[in-house]
Amino acid sequence: MCSAAKHVPEIAKGFHESREFKELPTRISEIKKDLKNARQSLHDNKKAIEKSGDQECLQQIHTLRQQFNAIFDRLEQRTVSEIENRKSSVEGKIQTDIDRIDDVTERLQKLSDDLKDGGENNEATSYIGFAKCDDEVWKANVLLQDINKKDEYKLSFQPNKSITAFLSSLQMLGEVICEGGAKPLPGPDCVFKVEKHALHNVKVADDKDICNISGMCNLATGEFLVADTRNCKLKLLNSNYEVISTCAVLKYPKDVCLTGEREVAVAVDNYGDVKGRHEIHFFRVRSGTLLKARTIKLKHRCIGLAHSNGYLYITANTGLHVYSILSGQRKKLYSDKTGLYTVVKCAVSPGGSRIYITNNDQSQLVILNRDDIKLSTLTLPRLKYPVEVHVTSLHHVFVCFCHLVQTVTINEGKQIVTPLAGDEEGLTEPTALCFNSSTNTLVVGQYCNDNIVALQMKH
Q: Give residue-wise pLDDT tens across range 41-93.
A: 888 888 888 887 777 888 888 888 899 899 999 999 999 999 899 899 988 98
- Which pLDDT belongs to residue 3? 47
Question: Cis peptide leading into 323, omega within 30 of 0?
Answer: no
Q: Average pLDDT of 341-364?
A: 94
**Alpha-carbon separation of residue 90 from 85, 145, 158 (angstroms):** 9, 19, 18
Beta bridge partners of 398: 390, 407
Whether the predicted pLDDT of 114 surpasses 80? no
Find all residues with CB under 8 Å of 414, minimum gap 6, and list them. none
Q: Which residue has the higher pLDDT, 155 or 11?
A: 155
- Which pLDDT belongs to residue 205? 95
User: 121 pLDDT band (50/70/90 cuts)?
Assistant: low
The CATH number of 189-458 is: 2.120.10.30
Q: Which residue has the higher pLDDT, 380 or 418?
A: 418
Q: Within 13 Å and on the Cβ side, how many CA atoms surround 159?
A: 6
Whether the predicted pLDDT of 322 surpasses 50? yes
pTM for the structure as a whole:
0.65
Contact 340/360 with Cβ under 8 angstroms?
no
Q: Parse the chain into domains and list their residue ranges.
A: 57-151, 189-458
DSSP labels for 55-85?
A: IIIHHHHHHHHHHHHHHHHHHHHHHHHHHHH
Find all residues with CB under 8 Å of 429, minimum gap 6, and list them. 402, 403, 446, 447, 448, 449
Q: Average pLDDT of 154-179?
A: 83
User: 1 pLDDT band (50/70/90 cuts)?
Assistant: very low
Q: Tell me what percent of the residues of the chain surpass a pLDDT of 90.
A: 45
Contact 353/287 with Cβ under 8 angstroms?
no
Closest CA to 359 of 403, 303, 404: 303
- Which pLDDT belongs to residue 182? 59
User: 11 pLDDT band (50/70/90 cuts)?
Assistant: low
Query: What does pLDDT average to over the chain?
Result: 87
- Which pLDDT belongs to residue 351? 87
- Which pLDDT belongs to residue 118? 65
Q: Average pLDDT of 5-21?
A: 72
| Interaxial angle between packed helices 58-118 and 123-148, expressed in degrees from 0 to 180 and rounded to the nearest 10 | 160
- Which pLDDT belongs to residue 305? 97
Query: Using CA atoms, how far apart are residues 448 and 430, in angstroms rounded to an integer?
Result: 10
Query: Using CA atoms, how far apart are residues 10 and 6, in angstroms rounded to an integer?
Result: 7
Sheet holding 304-308, edge to edge: 304-308, 311-315, 319-324, 330-335
Q: Average pLDDT of 149-169?
A: 85
Whether the predicted pLDDT of 228 surpasses 70? yes
Q: Average pLDDT of 148-172?
A: 85
Query: Using CA atoms, how far apart are residues 129 and 110, in angstroms rounded to an integer?
Result: 10
- The distance from CA 288 to its chain's CA centroid, rounded to whole angstroms, is 35
Cα-based angle 444, 448, 450 (whole degrees, multiple of 5): 65
Contact 393/437 with Cβ under 8 angstroms?
yes
Q: Average pLDDT of 418-423?
A: 92
Q: Give residue-wise pLDDT tens across range 266-302.
A: 999 998 765 788 999 999 988 788 999 899 999 999 9
Beta bridge partners of 236: 225, 245
Q: Average pLDDT of 429-448?
A: 94
DSSP labels for 73-119?
A: HHHHHHHHHHHHHHHHHHHHHHHHHHHHHHHHHHHHHHHHHHHHHHS
Query: Using CA atoms, how far apart are residues 322 and 296, in angstroms rounded to an integer?
Result: 13
Q: Which of 81-90, 159-168, 218-227, 263-272 has the lowest mean pLDDT?
A: 159-168
User: 433 pLDDT band (50/70/90 cuts)?
Assistant: very high
What's the burial of 442, exposed, middle or buried (CB within 10 Å: 0-12/13-18/19+)?
buried
Contact 247/283 with Cβ under 8 angstroms?
yes
Q: Which residue has the higher pLDDT, 413 or 386?
A: 386
